[in-house]
Amino acid sequence: MLVQASTSAANTTTISSSSVLSALPSSRFVSISSPRVRLRIQHSRRTGKKGGFKDTKPGLILSHVLRAAYEKVSLDPKLIGDIAVGNVLPPGGGATPARMATLHAGIPVETSINTVNRQCSSGLTDITQIANEVKAGQIEIGIGAMASISDEVLSNPDAEDCPLPMGITSENVAASYNISRATQDAFAARSFQKATAAQKAGKFKDEILPIKAKWVDLKTEEEKEVLVDSDDGIGDGVTPESLSKLKPAFKKDGSTHAGNASQVSDGAAAVLVTKRSTAKRLGLPIRGKFVTSAVIGVPPKIMGVGPAYAIPKALGLLGLSLEDIDFYEINEAFASQAVMSVQHLGIGEEKVNTNGGAIAIGHPLGCTGARQVATGLSIAKQTGGRVFVTSMCIGSGMGMAAVFVSEH
């Protein structure tokens, strides 16, 4: 099976973590008596995806989005109290490259940093951690930053020798929930079609930070500099019929293949988090609010079903129903698990991944959680929606979901 390496363009977002209660009409929540600190999203940016970053050091990509996170809102980097960096399967824990990227981005040596690995939800976990630190009064401003690095993943023997490959878990989901290949291919084709339409309409422009990257031609070994300003894994003209011609990738008689699974992608994203009072004092623009998040465990052999259970858990914390949410960003690790999640929740597919999902855009493992936030804020601005949910399955059998409110 040929697996494409993707490049994810760099993303930064200003977010303020907060109670949703003040953001929703009284009919859409139950009151909570405990006091809450309101946090706001100030800015978000991401990178384009596919192979444009294959010859650029990941720390440099991360450095670009970290710098953009504070420069785009004219924030003094000395005010950043903490940085959390998500990175999946990093050699040595990933702390040293992340620290180097932070310093390279012009952030003071006094600013602390830590790395987080919760597989595919690493990016969202970072944002949650920073938001909680702000809520607790430990810091006033922080950045949740995410980097996904293809060479680290592909060269890690433990990842390659995983006893239960993710593709097999996809096959398990398809078999357990009677999701046919035709259904998976139809879902995947719609993801490509939605992403293609969104890209042609310029709907990703506001969320992507163009970056100049080193690129080496594999045939000629010629090295040159290219501008990565879009997701280059989006394929035009994809149909269920064209996908039906692809061979199964994990089982001879299986239904999961390169066309209905997420692409291997490189990219980075950063989310700037602060309290509303701090944002107002510093004159920072507010794009939205982080409200809450939830993580839940599911059987590892069907790890992809995580969103189907994490979303209700997150909404339950707020007394919200599925109908209270304007749209959903559910990561498409595989069409099988995305279809299962949509069917299990009973939400209309028209409310899910409006501009396409990871099957078309790509899935930088540590970055996707933040990419979804940037995309969600853009969709809210484009459609007038306000309350949205992001969610993803997590390798080893978990799911995570978060609720955001746009202030476009």
DSSP string over 6-65: EEEEEEEEEEEE--SGGGS-GGG-----S----EEEEEEEEE--SSTTTTS-HHHHHHHH
Phi (first) and psi of residue 369, to 5 degrees = -55, -35
66, HSE (Cβ side, Cα atoms, 13 Å): 32
How many Cβ atoms are within 10 Å of 283's Cβ, its own excluded? 9
Q: Which of 43, 64, 257, 393 is catalytic?
A: 393
Phi-psi region of 4 (alpha: psi -120 to 50; beta: other; left: phi over 0): beta
Active site residue 64: no
Work out the widest C-alpha separation in the chain, in whole angstroms. 65
3-class secondary-structure state, position 93: helix
Distances 63 to 8, 17, 234, 270 between C-alpha atoms, Å: 14, 23, 25, 10
Q: Which of 43, 64, 120, 257 is catalytic?
A: 120
Active site residue 120: yes
Q: Which residues of 142-165 are buried (b: 16+ CB within 10 A; e: fewer)?
A: bbbbbbbbbebbeeeeeeeeeeee
Helices (H), 87-140: 95-104, 122-135
C-alpha span between 231 and 110 (Å, rounded) = 35
Phi (first) and psi of residue 287, to 5 degrees = -100, -25
DSSP string over 139-154: -SEEEEEEEE-HHHHH
28, HSE (Cβ side, Cα atoms, 13 Å): 15
C-alpha span between 324 and 331 (Å, rounded) = 20
Active site residue 363: yes
Q: Is 177 exposed, middle or buried (0-12, 13-18, 19+ CB in 10 A)?
A: middle
Q: Which of 43, 257, 363, 367 is catalytic?
A: 363
Contact 358, 333 (CB under 8 A): yes
Q: Position 5: which residue type?
A: A
Q: Which residues are catalytic?
A: 120, 363, 393
